Amino acid sequence: MRPPYLLLDIDGVLIPFPDADGSTPATHTRHDVVPAGRSADNPVTVWLNSDHGPMLMDVIRTGLITPIWCTSWRQDATTLIGPLLGLPDLPYIDLPRPQITTSHPNGYLWKRDHVDAWLGDAPAVWIDDDFTRLDHDWAAARTAKGAGTILVQPAPRLGLHPEHLTEVMTWASRLPGARTA
Site residues, Mg ion (CB under 5 A): 9, 11-12, 129-130
Q: Report how far residue 97's alpha carbon sits from residue 175's, in angstroms, rounded to the nearest whole number.
A: 33
The three-state secondary structure class of 44 is: strand
Longest dimension (CA), the chain: 50
Provide, rounded to whole angstroms, the least separation between the CB of residue 115 and Mg ion: 13
**Beta pairing partners, 8:** 69, 127
Q: Which is nearer to Mg ion, 130 or 135 (CB)?
A: 130
Q: Are 152 and 126 in contact (CB under 8 A)?
A: yes
Containing 29, the helix (H) or strand (E) segment is: strand 29-33
Nearest approach in angstroms of CB 127 to Mg ion is: 9
CB 14 within 8 A of CB 159: yes
Q: Which is nearer to Mg ion, 110 or 118 (CB)?
A: 110
Closest distance of CB 8 from Mg ion, Å: 10
Q: Per residue in 71-103, is it b (16+ CB within 10 Å) or e — as a string?
A: bebbebbbebbbebbebeebebbebeeeeeeeb
Q: How far is the CB of 19 from Mg ion (least distance, A)?
A: 16
The nearest distance, CB 177 to Mg ion, in angstroms, is 30
Query: Residue 165 in contact with residue 140, Cβ under 8 Å?
Result: no
Give the shortest CB-149-to-Mg ion separation in angstroms.
Answer: 18
Residue with nearest beta carbon to Mg ion: 12
Choice between 111 and 142, CB closer to Mg ion: 111
